[in-house]
């Protein structure tokens, strides 16, 4: 079974400040990890993903995430927040299981960027 826990349903930062969105996962098989962003009334857009290899993953719009197996974490960061980053962010996990590869999402973190 796989699951994702996102700590903090709402995060507020000032423009130009560091963005840190937390994600912890549980998986009985080697995980594939994803971060998606959702703008109002839109579908989900992939920010970045980890499958294998380098544990620090760079994505679009200046975001990056680090896979830490020992901490079962995949936190999303951005050095300097921009107003356009205000959106909802979802962490997701998938992996090969007997029932196929199911993409399981966390409950999301709403990011607010203030002037």
Partner 1 sequence: EAGVAQSPRYKIIEKRQSVAFWCNPISGHATLYWYQQILGQGPKLLIQFQNNGVVDDSQLPKDRFSAERLKGVDSTLKIQPAKLEDSAVYLCASSLLAGGTEAFFGQGTRLTVV
Q: Note the residues at the interface with partner 1 (CB under 8 A).
A: 4, 6, 32, 34, 36, 41-46, 49, 51, 90, 94-96, 99-108
Q: What is the closest distance, in whole angstroms, from the C-beta atom of residue 73 to partner 1 in the complex?
A: 17
Could you tell me whether strands 109-114 and 10-14 are parallel, antiparallel, or unpaired per DSSP bridges? parallel
Nearer to partner 1, 14 or 42 (CB): 42
Contact yes or no for 82/68 (Cβ under 8 A): no
Nearer to partner 1, 56 or 100 (CB): 100
Q: What is the closest distance, in whole angstroms, from the C-beta atom of residue 9 to partner 1 in the complex?
A: 8
**Residue 65 and residue 11: Cα distance in Å, rounded?**
17
Nearer to partner 1, 9 or 80 (CB): 9
Nearer to partner 1, 98 or 115 (CB): 98
Among 79, 82, 66, which Cα is nearest to 19's?
79
Within 13 Å, how many C-alpha atoms sit on residue 38's CB side? Answer: 16
Q: What is the closest distance, in whole angstroms, from the C-beta atom of residue 11 to partner 1 in the complex?
A: 15
Among 93, 104, 76, which Cα is nearest to 11's?
76
Q: What is the closest distance, in whole angstroms, from the C-beta atom of residue 76 to partner 1 in the complex?
A: 15
């Amino acid at each position: 079974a796989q699951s994702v826990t996102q700590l903090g349903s709402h995060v507020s930062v000032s423009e130009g400040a560091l963005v840190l969105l937390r994600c912890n996962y549980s998986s009985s098989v080697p995980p594939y990890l994803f971060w998606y962003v959702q703008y109002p009334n839109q579908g989900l857009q992939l920010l970045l993903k980890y499958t294998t290899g380098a544990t620090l993953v760079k994505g679009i719009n200046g975001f990056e995430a680090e896979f830490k197996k020992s901490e079962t974490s995949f936190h999303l960061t951005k050095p300097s927040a921009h107003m356009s980053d205000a959106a909802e962010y979802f962490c997701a996990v998938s992996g090969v299981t007997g029932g196929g590869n199911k993409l399981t999402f966390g409950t999301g973190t709403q990011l607010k960027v203030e002037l």
